[in-house]
Amino acid sequence: MNAFELLRADHEKVAQLFERLESATGKAKLGVFDQIKTELELHTHIEEKIFYPALERPAETQELTAEAYEEHATVKNLLRELSGARTPNEQWEILAKTLQENVEHHVQEEENELFGKARQALEEEEIEELGQQMEAEKARKQGGARKSAKKSSTKKASKKSAAAKKGGKKRSAKKPAKKAAKKSSGKKGASKGRSRKASGKKRSTKKSAKKGRR
Ligand SMILES: [Fe+2]
Ligand SMILES: [Fe+2]
C-alpha cells in the first residue's frame, strides 16, 4: 500500500466509526468514541512521524503541512476534552460533533489538497516507501498496545489468584471504582470556541471549497 492508499483507508475507517457514533446511545457511544480516539491517535502519530516530515521541506507542501499540524493539535485537544466522560451528556454530544467536523475538514484538506501537492513533490518510490514505513509503524504501535493490555490483564489475574490463596476462599478483587470516578470528574467539556469548525464552518465535499479558503 502506498502512503495515500494507507491514509485514505484510515480516513474511511474513521468516517465509518463516526457514523456509528451518531446512531449509538449511552455507554455504547462512549465505546465507539474510544475506538475513534484509538484510530485517530494512531493515524496522527504515523502522519506526524513519517508522512508530514517528508512534506515539510518541499515548497509545494510546506504551508499545507504546517496547517495540518495545527489541525492535528485541535483534534488532540478535543479528544482530551471528550475522554473520561461517564455518560455522553448534551455538552459531550456537542463536543463530539465538533470533533467530527474538525476531522472531516482536515481529511478533506489532506485528500483534496495535500495529497495532490505531495504527488508533485515526491517521487513514486518515496510515496511507496512512506506507505510501507507507516504500515510498519502502525503494526509496531498496535503490537505494543496489545502487549501492554495482555500484561495488565495477566497482572490482574495473578493478583486475583494471590488474593484468593491468601483468603483461602474465592473472593473477587476490589474494584477501584472511587478512584476512577474521581479521575473523570471535574472536567467540563466545552470547546470554548477553540476549534475552527465549532462556529459552523460549512462542511463541503466539493473540491472547489479549497479555493475560497486562501
Ligand atoms: Fe490523515
Ligand atoms: Fe492528518
**Range 174-190 average pLDDT:** 39
Least confident of 24-28, 40-44, 116-120, 206-210: 206-210
pTM of the model: 0.71
| Contacts within 8 Å (CB) and 24+ apart, 114-120 | 114/55, 114/61, 114/64, 114/65, 114/68, 115/4, 115/7, 117/58, 117/60, 117/61, 117/64, 118/3, 118/4, 118/54, 118/55, 118/60, 118/61, 119/4, 120/60
52 pLDDT higher than 90: yes
Domain count, the chain: 1
- Residue 185 covered by a domain: no
pLDDT per position as a tens digit, 155-181:
555 555 555 544 444 433 333 433 333
Cα 56 to ligand 2 centroid, rounded to whole Å: 13
According to the model, what pLDDT value does residue 23 have?
95
- Residue 26 covered by a domain: yes
Can you read off the three cell numbers belonging to residue 106? Answer: 482536515
- Residue 166 covered by a domain: no
The protein residues having their C-beta less than 5 angstroms from ligand 2 (an ion) are: 47
- Ligand closest to Cα of 55 equals 2
- Residue 120 covered by a domain: yes
Q: How many CB atoms lie within 10 A of CB 102?
A: 22
- Residue 186 covered by a domain: no
Cα 62 to ligand 2 centroid, rounded to whole Å: 14
- Residue 183 covered by a domain: no
| 147 vs 55, more confident | 55
- Residue 81 covered by a domain: yes
Domain encompassing residue 101 = 3-150+197-213
Cα 114 to ligand 1 centroid, rounded to whole Å: 10
According to the model, what pLDDT value does residue 185 have?
40
| 26 vs 73, more confident | 73
Cα 48 to ligand 2 centroid, rounded to whole Å: 8
